[in-house]
Structures are given as structure tokens and as C-alpha cells.
């Protein structure tokens, strides 16, 4: 395998659609209120992708050096685990991706707020720094929060609340109360993807002391938790559409929950956690599909 393919493997391209779902939803809501800016949109997408790639590099590195990714690991082989990249190379990749993230974050902030009033730029700079820290500390270091059952909390915050509401604020310089509902919806779907990943890895994680929520509560309770996450997500998005008197055409985004409910049936009838691996891609793409339909319907004022 060439080095380019090795780095693409470490970047985990299949995770990127999920990462931009919140940007699509936040941009759609901003467009509904008459605010569009193609530069903010592009930079927000690039920034989110950059942070996700940093997280993926760090996750590969952190789990690799801790020995979490062993030969018995279910799912795609990791770059460090399989010897495609060395620990030193991955560490350099993390540093370079952080530099790119800083450039993108600063560019996004300047594009959105300018340099006249420094309050918002400073707040978003701190938020960006926190996002970079969170991307790295998921699995890197002795106090990695992913090893202590806090991954779900951080995914909900950054993939849901920060992604959707932060994007909306970049356009409007304010946040509406009802916007919390789709932000929660996207956040719960994203946590569902992580929970599914942790259900798949429950045996290997438990063996190496990676105490995810799934390891702590057990597979049966993790499934119940999974059902709750995805059902609440659908309810929150429906409530937003209903509360804003959305036209029937805007309800089209709920079509994306059809494969989600089919997925729930698969989870319920699967007793071997390792066999849940194919469902990861389905749930992540379903989340992206829901966000894309939301974006299209609101951006075009249907």
C-alpha cells in the first residue's frame, strides 16, 4: 500500500459524512431565516472535516500505542495496528493536522465576525481550541476520556450542540430556542453511531480496560440505550418541524429515519456484537441523509 493510501486509511474517510451533518442542519436553519454565506459554509465544512481527521489520527495513535487495537479487532484495520504507519509518523500527522485546523478556525472566525468586535472571535477561538483538545484526548494520554465512558458526552456536545448551534451562530450571530431541537437530534444520532461502534468492540474494549459506557452497562442495556437515542432523535426533529409550522415538504427529512428504524430491528435481532459492524456505515450514512434532506428543504425554502 502506498503512503497516500495509508494516510487515507488513517483519516477514515467513511466517518466524514457524519461529521458534516451538523453543519448542513445549522446552515439550513440559517438559510430559512434569510442568511446565507458560501464562504462560511465552505470553511465550516473544511474545519469540521479537519477536526474529524485529527480525531481519527489521534484515535489510531492512542489506541495503537495502548494496545487496544489488537489482531482480534473487529472492523477495518487501523494504520498503526497493521503497520501501515509508525507511531512517529502518526504523531507528526496529528501535529500537521492541528496546524491546518488552526488556520481553518481562524479563517472561519474572521470571515464570520471580522476583527472589529473581538468578543465573539475570542469565544470561538477558545471553542476551537477546546474542539482540538477533545479530538486528541479521546484516546491519547493517561486521562483519555474515551477510556472512562465520557465519549458519548463529548460526541453529543461537539457533533450536535456545537456543530449545529455553532454553525447557526456563525451566520446569524444569535441562536433561537427551537434550534436546540435539531441540534439535539443530530447529537443523539451521532452518539448512536459511537454506541454502535462500542457495542461491536465490547469484548476487545473490556479486555484492555477501555471502559466505554457499553462496557459499563453491558450489551443488553447498551441496546436499550441505543433504541432510546435514535427514537428521541426522531421525536426531537419531528417536534421542531411541528413547532415551526413547517410545510409538508420539509417533513421529507424524516424519510431518512426509515433506514434508521430498519437498523434498530437489526440491532435487536443480532446477538453476536461483532456482527453489528456493517450497521455502522448504514447508521452514519442515514444520519448524513437526514441532515442533507433537511438542508435541501430549508435552503431552497420549500
pLDDT mean over 65-93: 71
Domain count of the chain? 1
Q: Can you give the pTM of this predicted structure?
A: 0.93
Give the CATH number for residue 154.
1.10.600
**Parent domain of 218:** 3-299
Confidence of residue 87 (pLDDT cuts 50, 70, 90): confident
Q: What is the CA radius of gyration of the chain?
A: 19
Whether pLDDT at 229 is above 90: yes
| pLDDT for 77 | 66
| pLDDT for 13 | 84
| pLDDT for 22 | 97
Amino acid at each position: 500500500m502506498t503512503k497516500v493510501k495509508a494516510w487515507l486509511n488513517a483519516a477514515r474517510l467513511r466517518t466524514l459524512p457524519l461529521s458534516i451533518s451538523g453543519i448542513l442542519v445549522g446552515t439550513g436553519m440559517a438559510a430559512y431565516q434569510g442568511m446565507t454565506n458560501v464562504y462560511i459554509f465552505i470553511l465550516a465544512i473544511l474545519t469540521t472535516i479537519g477536526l474529524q481527521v485529527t480525531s481519527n489520527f489521534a484515535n489510531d495513535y492512542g489506541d495503537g500505542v495502548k494496545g487496544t487495537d489488537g489482531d482480534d479487532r473487529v472492523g477495518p484495520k487501523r494504520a498503526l495496528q497493521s503497520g501501515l504507519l509508525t507511531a512517529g509518523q502518526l504523531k507528526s500527522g496529528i501535529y500537521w493536522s492541528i496546524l491546518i485546523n488552526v488556520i481553518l478556525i481562524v479563517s472561519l472566525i474572521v470571515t464570520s465576525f471580522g476583527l472589529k468586535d473581538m468578543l465573539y472571535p475570542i469565544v470561538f477561538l477558545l471553542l476551537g481550541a477546546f474542539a482540538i483538545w477533545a479530538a486528541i484526548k479521546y484516546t491519547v494520554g493517561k486521562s483519555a476520556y474515551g477510556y472512562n465512558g465520557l465519549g458519548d458526552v463529548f460526541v453529543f456536545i461537539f457533533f450536535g450542540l456545537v456543530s449545529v448551534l455553532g454553525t447557526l451562530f456563525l451566520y446569524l450571530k444569535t441562536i433561537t430556542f427551537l434550534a436546540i431541537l435539531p441540534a439535539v437530534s443530530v447529537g443523539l444520532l451521532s452518539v448512536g453511531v459511537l454506541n454502535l461502534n462500542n457495542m461491536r468492540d465490547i469484548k476487545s474494549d473490556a479486555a484492555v480496560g477501555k471502559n466505554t459506557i457499553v462496557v459499563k452497562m453491558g450489551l443488553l442495556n447498551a441496546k436499550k440505550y441505543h433504541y432510546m437515542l435514535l427514537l428521541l432523535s426522531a421525536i426531537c426533529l419531528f417536534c421542531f418541524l411541528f413547532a415551526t409550522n413547517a410545510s409538508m415538504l420539509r417533513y421529507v427529512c424524516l424519510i431518512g429515519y426509515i433506514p434508521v428504524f430498519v437498523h434498530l430491528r437489526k440491532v435487536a435481532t443480532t446477538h453476536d456484537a461483532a456482527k453489528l459492524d456493517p450497521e455502522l456505515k448504514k447508521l452514519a450514512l442515514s444520519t448524513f441523509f437526514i441532515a442533507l434532506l433537511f438542508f435541501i428543504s430549508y435552503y431552497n425554502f420549500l
